Structure 1
Amino acid sequence: MSDKICVGAIAGAFGVKGEVRLKSFCSEPRDIAGYGPLTTEDGKRSFTVKLTRPVTGGIGARLSDVSTREQAEALRGTTLWAPREALPSLPDDEFYHADLIGLDVFDTGGRSLGRVHAIYDHGAGDILEITGREQLLLPFTRAVVPTVDLKAGRIIADPPDSDE
């Protein structure tokens, strides 16, 4: 498991005084400001986040050491990471996406299906992208994914028959 979790991304500049448009990946979007200084993925930059107002496509925010539109625009696409220990622990049936990516996936008969490559959320629930002999997209529901064993590093899935 990673020692940091991606909690958001900078979608671009907002206004002319260095404000940014944040896309929060938190279940409660405003929580992004409460996870301490956030870092870039490589850890080379750190930002304190002060939320300002709701904006189209995200949340307006001021980041420490960002005071011009040009500085804010240069950060477009930058992901923001929080230390795992700053985040709340989750109930047994919820998982951080970072913990699922890379897990081995087996069917209920023990046959390897591949590994979790990515997780997508298009509004109707999470979809796991599994890469192996073939690419699979599986709904992340208890019916299709009955077991997630983080300690063993595996997922048991019961994919629907492709003949149906």
Structure 2
Amino acid sequence: MAPLEPAELPADAIEVGRIADAWGIKGWFKVLPYSADPQALFSSKRWFLQPAEKGARTFEGTCRLAIKEAREHADSVVASAHDIPDRSAAEALRGARVFVPRSSFPSADSDEYYWVDLIGLDVVNREGVALGQVRDLLSTGPQTVLVIEYADEDKTLERMIPFVSAFVDKVELPERRITVDWQPDY
């Protein structure tokens, strides 16, 4: 396998999956996306890879792959890249972490948000009381839940607020704020 093109990870890079293994004999590889809807993988023709752990045999640091084609296959994505000519080269990518620039994500609809954009936003209630900051989101099946981290005396605690219109009044990405119908003692 020819060495992969070294590259600097873009400032807005988001980790979107990892390479599981080679797929077929013509250099295709299987990617396990971190999202149930892997559109970010399809929207970018430049993927950035980092080894899963230090000391990887195949490459070091960050490298860039020029993607020829990517498509869904069962619960994963299969892809081919210009620099990956055969199965051996694809096998050498096993375990690599896949990043794409956030700027290449498809635009979200007016009431849709990428989870990565919600992490770190301040959460306040209708009265302006600060409830904390979004640390994570959980998918519970029927709905998504905001995991809010806040300080109480000398402890860091968390509260969970369903991310549904009954409780979420407004998401203001430029202001980095979410306004909710929720009280601190819930």
- TM-score tier by shorter-chain length is 0.7 to 0.9
Seen in structure 2, the aligned counterparts of structure 1 residues 143 and 11 have a Cα distance that, compared at 3 Å, is farther
Match of 1:13 in 2: 21
Q: Normalising by structure 1, what TM-score?
A: 0.74
CA distance in 1, matches of 2:70, 2:175: 39
CA distance in 2, matches of 1:35, 1:47: 11
Counterpart Cα distance in 2 of 1:142 and 1:115: 19
TM-score (ref. length: structure 2): 0.66
Could you tell me how far 1:80 is from its partner in structure 2?
A: 2.1
CA offset digits 1:60-117 (Å, max 9, x no partner): 2234444525412241xx1322341x33322321122222111111122221111011
Residue 149 (str. 1) matches residue 172 (str. 2) = yes
Does 1:120 find its partner at 2:141? no
Identity rate, percent: 22
Equivalent-residue separation in structure 2 for 1:149 and 1:53 (angstroms): 32
Which structure would you say has the larger Rg? 2
Measure the CA separation in 1 of the matches of 2:111 and 2:132.
22
For residues 40 and 120 of structure 1, do their structure 2 counterparts lie closer, same or farther at Cα, with a shift above 3 Å needed?
A: farther
8 Å CA contact 1:7, 1:26 repeated in 2: no
Query: How far does residue 37 in structure 1 lie from its aligned partner after superposition?
Result: 0.6
Instruction: Give unmatched runs, 5+ long, in structure 1.
Output: none
Alignment of 1:65-144 (within 5 A): 65-66=83-84, 67=86, 68=88, 70-75=91-96, 78-84=97-103, 86-133=104-151, 134-144=157-167
1:20 counterpart letter in structure 2: F
CA distance in 1 between partners of 2:44 and 2:169 (Å): 31
Q: Partner letter of residue 10 of structure 1?
A: R
Aligned length: 156
2:57 corresponds to: none
Higher strand share: 2
CA RMSD between the two structures = 3.1
Displacement of 1:53 in angstroms is 6.2
- Superposed CA deviations along residues 120-158 of structure 1, whole A, max 9, x for unmatched, are 334323221111132012211111111111122111122
The verdict on how the C-alpha distance between 1:161 and 1:74 changes in structure 2, with shifts beyond 3 A counting, is: closer
State how far apart, in whole Å, the 1-side matches of 2:142 and 2:82 are. 35
